[in-house]
Amino acid sequence: AQSVAQPEDQVKVAEGNPLTVKCTYSVSGNPYLFWYVQYPNRGLQFLLKYITGDNLVKGSYGFEAEFNKSQTSFHLKKPSALVSDSALYFCAVRDGTNDYKLSFGAGTTVTVRA
């Protein structure tokens, strides 16, 4: 079985401050990890993924995430948040040894205030 936990329902930061959205996962095999963002009344947009290689992954819109195997975490980060980053963020995982099914976290709402 595979699962994802996003421990924070909401994250609020001031514009220009660092942004972190937390994610921990559980899989039986090697994890494939993803971050998606959803703007109001829109579908999910892919931000970045970790499959293998460098633990620090860089993605779209200045976001990055760090894979930590010992802590089974994949936290999303942005050094300087923008008001336009306000959205719903989802972490997802799949077991690299099975088919393509993803398991999603419940989501974290990010609010960046001006």
Partner 1 sequence: IAGITQAPTSQILAAGRRMTLRCTQDMRHNAMYWYRQDLGLGLRLIHYSNTAGTTGKGEVPDGYSVSRANTDDFPLTLASAVPSQTSVYFCASSDSQADTQYFGPGTRLTVL
Please report, as ranges, the residues that interact with partner 1 according to CB under 8 A: 9, 32, 34, 36, 42-46, 49, 51, 90, 94, 99-107
Provide, rounded to whole angstroms, the least separation between the CB of residue 94 and partner 1. 8
Listed residue (5, 10, 33) closest to 87, CA to CA:
10
Residue whose CB is less far from partner 1, 35 or 112: 35
Provide, rounded to whole angstroms, the least separation between the CB of residue 53 and partner 1. 14
Residue whose CB is less far from partner 1, 99 or 114: 99
Residue whose CB is less far from partner 1, 44 or 82: 44
How many CB atoms lie under 10 A from the CB of residue 42? Answer: 10
Residue whose CB is less far from partner 1, 5 or 15: 5
Q: Pairing relation of β-strands 24-26 and 3-5?
A: antiparallel
Listed residue (101, 61, 52) closest to 85, CA to CA:
61
* DSSP H or E segment with residue 23: none
